[in-house]
């Protein structure tokens, strides 16, 4: 595969991976703000693992493909998987324990989180073995060493900025709302639920982060295009 195509395919894979993580985080945030079910300490550990898992793809998109970036994601996935496994074991120890939170296709969200972390570990390991993107001289979407067609390049820049900004917005929301629940001490094992937002306002509130991210990404992508045009 040509170096340009290898880099483009790698970027698309990283963007899709971040979109998947955004989907998982959107579901958990909707559960918190839409339904009103507050996260337990192990849930927060798993959310932190998801955010850490996003670090590798974000670094790949901004600074170029590097196996060390994938390694960081693997480490974060191991931490998140440990939290998921701990929560699973806590609830299967008692046969009468119904589990924590709702089920999706028969599995609780912490079980799906474990599946997500395992898939991420395997996926990152496979991508590390694919050497072509690492030897292509990629320096990131904003410093493309192998320019593609302008339309494709602009779309990749916008998509990359969109998912990165969306992740950071979710991180800010998670960080801000931990304080009222946990304060400066330990988080409660079984936090009290809140009223939550009536549907569809729950999903609207959660997905509004994507709208904000899309607008900011569009502004930054236009500035990037103007800078590229001025430089040429």
The ranges assigned to domains in the chain are 3-231
CA distance 125 to 18: 17
CA–CA dist 145, 124 (Å, integer)? 24
More confident residue, 74 or 42: 74
Better pLDDT: 89 or 2: 89
The pLDDT, as a whole number, for residue 231 is 67
Residue 146 has pLDDT above 70, yes or no: no
Give exposure, 117-149, as e/b (b: 16+ Cβ within 10 Å).
beebbebbeebbeeeebbebebebbbebebebe
pLDDT at residue 163 above 50? yes
What does the pLDDT average to over 85-113? 84
The stretch 27-47 carries a mean pLDDT of: 87
Mean pLDDT on 123-134: 95
> How many CB atoms neighbour CB 111 within 10 A?
19
CB 189 within 8 A of CB 40: yes
First to last CA, the chain: 28
Is pTM beyond 0.75? Reply is yes
Residue, of 231 and 214, whose pLDDT is higher:
214
Which runs of consecutive H residues, i.e. helices, occur in the chain?
3-30, 41-63, 67-92, 109-129, 150-182, 201-231
The pLDDT assigned to 149 comes to 58
Higher pLDDT, 185 or 127: 127
User: For the residues of 84-131, what is the DSSP string, one character each?
Assistant: HHHHHHHHHSSTT---SS-EETTEEHHHHHHHHHHHHHHHHHHHHH--
Cβ–Cβ < 8 Å for 108, 91 = yes
Predicted local distance difference test score (pLDDT) of residue 177: 81
pLDDT of 111 reads: 92
Does position 205 have pLDDT exceeding 80, yes or no?
A: yes
Average pLDDT score over residue span 136-164: 78
For the segment 140-166, the average pLDDT, to the nearest whole number, is 79
Token duo for residue 59: 């670094």
When pLDDT is cut at 50, 70 and 90, the band that residue 145 belongs to is very low
């Amino acid at each position: 595969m040509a170096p340009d195509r290898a880099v483009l395919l790698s970027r698309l894979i990283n963007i899709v991976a971040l979109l998947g993580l955004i989907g998982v985080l959107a579901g958990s945030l909707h559960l918190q703000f839409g339904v009103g079910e507050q996260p337990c300490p192990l849930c927060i550990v798993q959310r932190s693992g998801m955010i850490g898992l996003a670090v590798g793809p974000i670094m790949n998109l901004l600074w170029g493909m590097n196996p060390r970036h994938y390694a960081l994601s693997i480490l974060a996935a191991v931490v998140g998987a440990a939290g998921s496994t701990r929560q699973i074991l806590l609830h299967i120890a008692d046969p009468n324990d119904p589990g924590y939170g709702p089920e999706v296709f028969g599995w609780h969200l912490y079980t799906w989180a474990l599946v997500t972390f395992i898939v991420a570990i395997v996926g990152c390991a496979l991508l590390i073995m694919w050497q072509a993107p690492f030897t292509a001289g990629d320096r990131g979407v904003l410093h493309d060493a192998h320019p593609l067609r302008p339309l494709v390049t602009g779309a990749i820049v916008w998509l990359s900025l969109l998912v990165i900004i969306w992740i950071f917005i979710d991180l800010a929301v998670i960080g801000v709302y931990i304080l009222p629940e946990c304060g400066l001490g330990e988080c409660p094992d079984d936090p009290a639920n809140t009223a939550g937002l009536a549907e569809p306002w729950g999903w609207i509130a959660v997905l509004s982060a994507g709208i904000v991210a899309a607008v900011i990404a569009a502004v930054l992508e236009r500035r990037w295009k103007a800078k590229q045009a001025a430089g040429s």
